[in-house]
Structure 1
């Protein structure tokens, strides 16, 4: 193949993928099979959230949750007439408020809102938004929050509310956990899965890590993976670097080209897109997807970072037993991932476990 013959090319629109005929000669090469396909791709790119935008949304949700807990605890201290403790907690609330103000500003920039409109909402000069709350300043504030939270006041954890309402007749009894117990009856070694130095990656970063690890396991170079999946090499490179969040069609093609299991990737893709997982997805497959994104560490290594036994971890991956939510949360943190996207799948598994078995004479459910 000569340098002037770049080989077969395909439309950059992930929903198309048709081959593009390139005529020999000079001129700018075509990237879309038609002008209409190019316009559709650009419209979808504007609507599709980037990994940075998804990270901003996840960070804002985390800060809002921390702020709500801090305000609730501060109300309790005020009613209990503990002014010194309330004043100490006020410093935490003020820091959370600054974080919560910075992130929506960056979210507005992600939506291409003007600084003048943002400043008008806050009632401050536009120059203050540009100077004190620039994109770099917001990024530094997000990175420094992990250092500031190490010294923040310890608040009592509240049970996370379920994201879906349990159907009538579904038992809400707590599922027993499968945690290691010391043989001598002493204290259990604390879990390191939620150590302050460990910060779970957002859903978009987890999807990128999973696809990148699949590509490394396949041993295929970038050009060969692009040819096997029918996607342009430039787009594959942007997906594997985290610059682009692919459509499900592209994510599935890349998974199949690397001999992976799409069932393990689909929950990660849904979380990266900010979508609620469907009932067709299963909790064990999602956990295996997180395991893949973490480069598949052995169960003994995961057991060292958690209070779960290796046998229990294997059962969670295989789906032989339904774990308690705190076990799912701890395993997700040990895999350096957020656990909250798994909550709908865990709720669905609990509902399926409590549902009555179908009659032997009845039709087989599809």
Structure 2
């Protein structure tokens, strides 16, 4: 049996990214490659919002908006005397409340608020904030939201946000010509990618498909891959059959042995392991990873299954602009993969777009569908 390998851990300073050597002792694990690097990052964070801070703000606004919509729909169901439908939504509300609590706690910590003050607002002992709602626990809660199975309820679409929420300035960096329309008519082209009855592959299955495709195009035998990765041939067989999820060390060596790009496989591995990403990843790389797992179908073929143009799909793979979440979701579905694991990367891409305007004193913008 191959020994467990957690893979490399990288410095949390976005401008650094150096690997961190973590010992197997019982001490607190290091988050930065050096004390000086950690101090520099904290000083920069205090002076201006970091991409992480902007992503946390966008996440909190998104959860609050989702919660407001669900509660408004529950109110209507209650008035219409539909208790079973309202109870179904109650599960979603309870999860959203916990996510919103985590998001607000993270916002408060981004603003350098003390744990004692946060605990006082929640009516909890300060020790509980430190122990059960630590920074790591809150971060895991935020990152796990897209990976959790949520109650699938079709809520009525709203033209605007609920009146209790302040309107947000929208300035989307859209890919030109992103939607196909017949003879310039309205966007009514049906999308087979959005068929609700169509089964989507989960993160683990997507990773398995990607590794299997790499092995197929490389022409290498499982024995050769075992020699390249330093594991047994039977272990390679279990990985390619989906029985085992390899460590990142093995997955990376496997990808390199097949002449693949580890940057495309890393987001798939993170989603399969339900891990908090330990290094900066991009949305285009994750989309290329899904493309790899689907055996890289041509863009025009994908366009036939969606309302996206081939030009828009190619642009999403290369990151020429930040697409709307609706377009990301549609492309993921066309590649037979779940879209929600991409949500944190999309939030980070939106935050990166908003960062220059925010630091210059302009309105914070977000890319929306």
Range of TM-score over shorter length:
0.5 to 0.7
- SS at structure 1 position matched to 2:348: helix
Alpha carbon RMSD of aligned pairs, Å?
Answer: 3.6
Tell me, in whole angstroms, the C-alpha distance in 2 between the residues paired with 1:282 and 1:250. 22
2:331 matches 1:336: no
Shift in Å at residue 266 of structure 1? Answer: 0.3
Shift in Å at residue 73 of structure 1? Answer: 2.6
Shift in Å at residue 153 of structure 1? Answer: 7.5
Residue 72 to residue 238, structure 1, CA distance change in 2 (3 Å): farther
Shift in Å at residue 87 of structure 1? Answer: 5.5
Aligned 8 A contact 2:194 2:333 in 1: yes
In the TM superposition, 1:1-366 aligns within 5 A as 12-15=2-5, 73-78=73-78, 81-83=79-81, 86=82, 89=85, 93=88, 154-156=154-156, 173-176=171-174, 178-186=178-186, 188-278=188-278, 280-356=280-356
Deviations 1:115-149 (A, max 9, x none): xxxxxxxxxxxxxxxxxxxxxxxxxxxxxx9xxx9
Shift in Å at residue 320 of structure 1? Answer: 1.6
Aligned 8 A contact 1:268 1:286 in 2: yes
Tell which deviates more after alignment, 302-311 or 176-185.
Answer: 176-185
Residue 187 to residue 68, structure 1, CA distance change in 2 (3 Å): closer
Shift in Å at residue 71 of structure 1? Answer: 7.3
Deviations 1:322-361 (A, max 9, x none): 211111111111111111221221222222233339xxxx
Shift in Å at residue 171 of structure 1? Answer: 7.2
Tell me, in whole angstroms, the C-alpha distance in 1 between the residues paired with 2:277 and 2:237. 26
TM-score (norm 1): 0.56
Residue 289 to residue 212, structure 1, CA distance change in 2 (3 Å): same
Tell me, in whole angstroms, the C-alpha distance in 2 between the residues paired with 1:254 and 1:351. 33
Residue 70 to residue 88, structure 1, CA distance change in 2 (3 Å): farther
Tell me, in whole angstroms, the C-alpha distance in 2 between the residues paired with 1:316 and 1:153. 28
Shift in Å at residue 14 of structure 1? Answer: 5.0
Shift in Å at residue 70 of structure 1? Answer: 7.1
Shift in Å at residue 208 of structure 1? Answer: 0.8
Aligned 8 A contact 2:77 2:85 in 1: no
Q: Which structure 1 segments of 5+ residues have no match?
A: 1-10, 17-39, 41-65, 101-144, 160-169, 358-366
TM-score (norm 2): 0.55
Aligned 8 A contact 1:14 1:250 in 2: no
Residue 175 to residue 276, structure 1, CA distance change in 2 (3 Å): farther
Tell me, in whole angstroms, the C-alpha distance in 1 between the residues paired with 2:186 and 2:88. 38
Shift in Å at residue 222 of structure 1? Answer: 1.1
Paired residue for 1:165? none
Deviations 1:207-262 (A, max 9, x none): 11111111111111111111122221111111111111111001001111111100
Q: Which structure 2 segments of 5+ residues have no match?
A: 7-23, 25-65, 96-148, 160-167, 358-369
Shift in Å at residue 15 of structure 1? Answer: 3.8
Deviations 1:80-111 (A, max 9, x none): x323xx25736x839x89xx9xxxxxxxxxxx
Tell me, in whole angstroms, the C-alpha distance in 2 between the residues paired with 1:324 and 1:249. 33
